[in-house]
């Protein structure tokens, strides 16, 4: 990985603007109010959409890009692995140590008439931060770094991350603050993984991959 070629500038600038605007909303909504407003907007189509897209924040999916990147460059796979470990550390510390037992929306608003999506498994505790949001923002930020020249792709990835994060509010699994914090931790995880990879894994041997090298003999590519 190279420092100048993995900045994800478009992703980061757009994210910074959006997170700033979102944070400005917080003082105007007491805890639970924004979530109740969103809860009134349920439709069958939106239920299906957000139940599906929220799966992109499941941490188990991170195994796939790490394995896939081994066939591109070892340094890319190492970068994704470091980012994953950092994001897991952030989420574990938040949910299990620093903010353990904090009620989620369904528990916090248990005395009110709240709609829940039929068949969805709901959680009631350890709300801060949103693990799904941390995962998807880490993943999309990391892929934006690996595609630093593709500005449209970076914006598309950011859009996917935002929708996934919003799904956690729509499904009443997290508060707005949980999602905002998770997004910040996810982006920080990707930049932390980037720093570690550039610092310790930038040698030539880490630029190789599991794919065999290809040589040309009489103009024909063959596997060595």
The domains of the chain, with CATH numbers, are 9-223 (1.20.144)
**Between vectors from CA 179 to CA 178 and to CA 184, what angle results, nearest 5°?**
100
- What pLDDT does residue 1 have? 61
Residue 113 has pLDDT above 50, yes or no: yes
CB atoms within 10 A of CB 25: 11
Cis peptide before 129 (omega within 30 of 0): yes
**pLDDT for 69-112, tens place per residue?**
999 999 999 999 999 999 999 999 999 999 999 999 999 999 89
Q: Using one digit for the tens of pLDDT, what is the confidence trace for 135-184?
A: 999 999 999 999 999 999 999 999 999 999 999 999 999 999 999 999 99
On whether the CB atoms of residues 118 and 158 are closer than 8 A, the answer is: no
- Write out the E strands in the chain: 214-217, 220-223
State the CB neighbour count (10 A cutoff) for residue 42.
16
- 74-92 vs 176-200: helix crossing angle, rounded to 10: 140
pLDDT in tens, 148-162: 999 999 999 999 999
Q: What is the pTM of this model?
A: 0.91
């Amino acid at each position: 990985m190279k420092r100048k070629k993995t900045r994800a500038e478009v992703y980061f600038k757009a994210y910074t603007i959006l997170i700033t605007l979102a944070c400005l909303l917080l003082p105007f909504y007491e805890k639970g109010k924004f979530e109740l407003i969103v809860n009134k907007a349920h439709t069958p189509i939106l239920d299906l959409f957000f139940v599906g897209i929220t799966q992109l924040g499941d941490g188990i999916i991170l195994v796939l890009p790490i394995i896939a990147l081994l066939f591109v460059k070892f340094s890319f796979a190492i970068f994704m692995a470091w980012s994953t470990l950092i994001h897991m550390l952030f989420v574990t510390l938040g949910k299990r140590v620093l903010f353990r037992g904090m009620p989620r929306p369904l528990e916090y608003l248990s005395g009110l008439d709240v709609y829940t999506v039929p068949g969805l498994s709901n959680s009631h505790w350890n709300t801060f931060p949103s693990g799904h949001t941390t995962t998807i923002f880490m993943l999309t930020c990391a892929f934006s770094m690996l595609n630093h020249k593709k500005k449209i792709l970076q914006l598309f990835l950011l859009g996917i991350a935002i929708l996934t994060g919003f799904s956690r509010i729509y499904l009443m699994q997290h508060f707005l603050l949980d999602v905002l914090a998770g997004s910040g931790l996810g982006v920080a995880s990707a930049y932390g993984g980037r720093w570690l990879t550039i610092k310790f894994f930038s040698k030539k041997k880490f630029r190789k991959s599991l794919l065999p090298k290809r040589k040309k003999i009489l103009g024909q590519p063959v596997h060595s």
